[in-house]
């Protein structure tokens, strides 16, 4: 028995959500402005209509009661000559009037008598001081006031003029409210179009970057939030362009540096393989050993270069550094490794206690690169001065490494920390040209800096400044 697969449970919900997501932000802003204005107009219109209606009805009641009181005190009611008043007078004044006695008898002009009820009879009998009511059948307002001698004067007027005024007012409010809503929608559209223009430029720029890789900045206009967003986006584009340029330069420099040892390694290997073939001229043992030594040196150089490239790529990646580091221990570990690599070099060490937040492994690699560089340039039985001392002016610690070699030419000092830079004197020595660039990367990642100059001993002086402070026990 085959059971049909049930439909996806969220299919019905996905369609309305998709339709909502297809509404653009500009339309949503327009609708929001229109709805807000419509709500405000509706509240104001209802409040104005209710206020005017209550005021008109109150004025109508006050006017009707005032006229009824004046008529009750007038001579026509007292002399019972109310029936002698012409009917045209009541038609012109839009009033109907009659005198109602306590036994229910009424006298007044025929055809102009107001509708009566028990409310008016209660006034005539003295049970209530006056009455006000609306007669639904005749659509009129009826009031009754005492007329003396056990009678009440009843007067009414039609509500048609008042209701026509209210109807006109409602039409005016609806028309003006609708015009206000349309105006608000138009203004919302204009504001949304003007306000979202920078967003559209950002969207077009992002699409352009995704399609073409073009990282040109976007023109910035004004100083509002969207302009600051555009400025931030331009900063991101500049950082991305700089990162791409660094990557291209790194790849180009790495390819150039790798080409020479690979070419030499391939040549030596081809010669060794050719000499082992039948009928080929054989190599002497001395030449073979020299080629094998050259191959071993090239492999060692390639390994060092690949290791430096990996380290440099790792240093380029932003990393959060929150590990407490004792800088003295870092320098001492690097010194022990440097002494093993250069056993004939003497290291004159002077270290002051210092602590900081950082990456101990990266710091040790940077210090070791400084020591290896000094040992490489120092003569045999040479002396390298290593000092870690606080700098009161900057509040940082300065690691100085000075050698007794030939020093760095003033023209080369601004470039010694760049990748793959090697002076004319250093091109004949082993190395990849990445050691000091790794030192610069580590120092800058930890909030420090590097500097190259001339040592008092006559050789090169390299400085690395790092933040931090003395241990807490010494500060106390």
Q: Tens digit of pLDDT for each residue in 137-164?
A: 888 999 999 887 788 888 898 898 889 9
Domain 321-467 has CATH 3.30.565.10: yes
Element housing 145 (H / E) = strand 140-146
Given pLDDT bands bounded at 50, 70 and 90, which one contains residue 475?
low
| Residue tagged 């492994």 (tokens) | 361
* pLDDT at 15 exceeding the cut of 50: no
Element housing 98 (H / E) = strand 95-101
Q: Residue 277: its pLDDT value, please?
A: 79
Q: Which position has the higher pLDDT, 434 or 89?
A: 434
**Mean per-residue pLDDT, 438-466:** 89
Query: Model confidence over 115-129: pLDDT tens digits?
Result: 888 888 888 888 898
Q: Residue 78: its pLDDT value, please?
A: 47
* pLDDT at 288 exceeding the cut of 90: no
Q: Residue 322: its pLDDT value, please?
A: 67
Spatial separation of the C-alpha atoms in residues 392 and 398, rounded to whole Å: 10
Give the chain's largest Cα–Cα span.
161
Q: Residue 380: its pLDDT value, please?
A: 81
Given pLDDT bands bounded at 50, 70 and 90, which one contains residue 216?
confident
Given pLDDT bands bounded at 50, 70 and 90, which one contains residue 3?
very low
Q: Is the distance from CB of 226 to CB of 198 less than 8 angstroms?
A: yes
CA distances from 396 to 97, 226, 332, 335, 446 (A): 105, 39, 19, 21, 12
What string of DSSP letters covers 60-81? HHHHHHHHHHHHHHSHHHHTT-
The domain covering 26-164 belongs, at the CATH homologous superfamily level, to PAS domain (3.30.450.20)
Q: Residue 180: its pLDDT value, please?
A: 82
Buried b (16+ CB within 10 A) or exposed e, 17-33: eeeeeeeeebeebbeeb
Q: Residue 215: its pLDDT value, please?
A: 78
Query: Model confidence over 82-125: pLDDT tens digits?
Result: 444 444 444 445 788 888 888 888 877 676 788 888 888 888 88
Q: Residue 100: its pLDDT value, please?
A: 85
In the chain, where the domains are located: 26-164, 225-310, 321-467
* pLDDT at 425 exceeding the cut of 70: no
Of the candidates 127, 105, 126, 115, the one whose C-alpha atom is nearest the C-alpha of residue 154 is 115
Beta strand 346-351 with 449-454 is: unpaired
Per DSSP (E only), the strands in 275-343 are 324-326
* pLDDT at 255 exceeding the cut of 80: no
Q: Is the distance from CB of 101 to CB of 82 less than 8 angstroms?
A: no
**Mean per-residue pLDDT, 223-230:** 76
Q: Which position has the higher pLDDT, 387 or 426?
A: 387
| Average pLDDT over all residues of the chain | 79
Query: For domain 225-310, which architecture applies?
Result: Orthogonal Bundle (1.10)
* pLDDT at 375 exceeding the cut of 50: yes
What DSSP state is assigned to residue 430? S
**Mean per-residue pLDDT, 387-400:** 92
Of the candidates 134, 79, 88, the one whose C-alpha atom is nearest the C-alpha of residue 107 is 79
Query: Model confidence over 308-321: pLDDT tens digits?
Result: 666 666 555 545 55
Q: Which position has the higher pLDDT, 107 or 423?
A: 107
Q: Residue 331: its pLDDT value, please?
A: 94
Q: Residue 12: its pLDDT value, please?
A: 41
The model carries a pTM of 0.46
**Mean per-residue pLDDT, 380-406:** 90
Rg (CA), the chain: 51
Spatial separation of the C-alpha atoms in residues 299 and 98, rounded to whole Å: 128
Q: Residue 50: its pLDDT value, please?
A: 92
């Amino acid at each position: 028995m085959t059971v049909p697969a049930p439909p996806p449970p969220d299919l019905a919900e996905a369609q309305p959500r998709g339709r909502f997501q297809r509404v653009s932000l500009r339309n949503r802003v327009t609708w929001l402005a229109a709805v807000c204005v419509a709500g405000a107009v509706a509240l104001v219109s209802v409040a104005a209509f209710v206020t005017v209606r209550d005021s008109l009805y109150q004025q109508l009641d006050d006017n009707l009661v005032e006229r009824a009181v004046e008529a009750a005190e007038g001579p026509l009611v007292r002399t019972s000559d109310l029936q002698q008043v012409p009917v045209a007078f009541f038609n012109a004044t839009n009033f109907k009037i009659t005198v109602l006695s306590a036994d229910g008898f009424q006298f007044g002009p025929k055809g102009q008598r107001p509708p009566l009820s028990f409310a008016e009879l209660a006034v005539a009998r003295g049970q209530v001081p006056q009455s006000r009511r609306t007669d639904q059948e005749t659509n009129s307002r009826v009031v009754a006031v005492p007329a003396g001698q056990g009678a009440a004067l009843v007067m009414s007027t039609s509500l048609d003029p008042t209701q026509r005024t209210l109807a006109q007012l409602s039409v005016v409010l609806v028309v003006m409210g609708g015009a206000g809503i349309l105006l608000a929608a138009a203004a919302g559209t204009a504001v949304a179009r003007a306000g979202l223009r920078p967003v559209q430029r950002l969207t077009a720029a992002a699409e352009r970057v995704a399609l073409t890789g073009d990282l040109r900045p976007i023109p910035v206009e004004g100083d509002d939030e969207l302009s600051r967003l555009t400025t931030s986006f331009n900063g991101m584009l500049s950082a991305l362009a700089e990162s791409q340029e660094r990557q291209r330069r790194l790849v180009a420099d790495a390819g150039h540096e790798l080409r020479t040892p690979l070419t030499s390694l391939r040549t030596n290997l081809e010669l060794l393989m050719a000499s082992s073939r039948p009928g080929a001229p054989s190599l002497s043992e001395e030449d073979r050993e020299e080629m094998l030594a050259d191959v071993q040196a090239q492999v060692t150089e390639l390994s060092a270069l690949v290791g430096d490239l990996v380290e440099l790529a790792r240093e380029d990646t932003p990393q959060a550094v929150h590990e407490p580091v004792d800088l003295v221990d870092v320098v001492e570990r690097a010194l022990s490794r440097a002494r093993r690599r250069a056993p004939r070099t003497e290291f004159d060490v002077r270290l002051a206690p210092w602590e900081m937040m950082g990456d101990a492994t990266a710091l040790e690699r940077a210090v070791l690169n400084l020591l290896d560089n000094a040992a490489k340039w120092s003569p045999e039985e040479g002396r390298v001065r290593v000092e870690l001392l606080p700098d009161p002016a900057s509040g940082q610690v300065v690691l100085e490494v000075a050698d007794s070699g030939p020093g760095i030419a003033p023209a080369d000092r601004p470039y010694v920390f760049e990748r793959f830079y090697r002076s004319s004197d250093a091109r004949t020595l082993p190395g990849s040209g990445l050691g000091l660039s790794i030192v610069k990367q580590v120092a800058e990642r930890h909030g420090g800096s590097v500097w190259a100059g001339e040592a008092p001993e006559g050789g090169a002086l390299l400085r690395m400044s790092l933040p931090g402070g003395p241990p807490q026990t010494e500060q106390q």
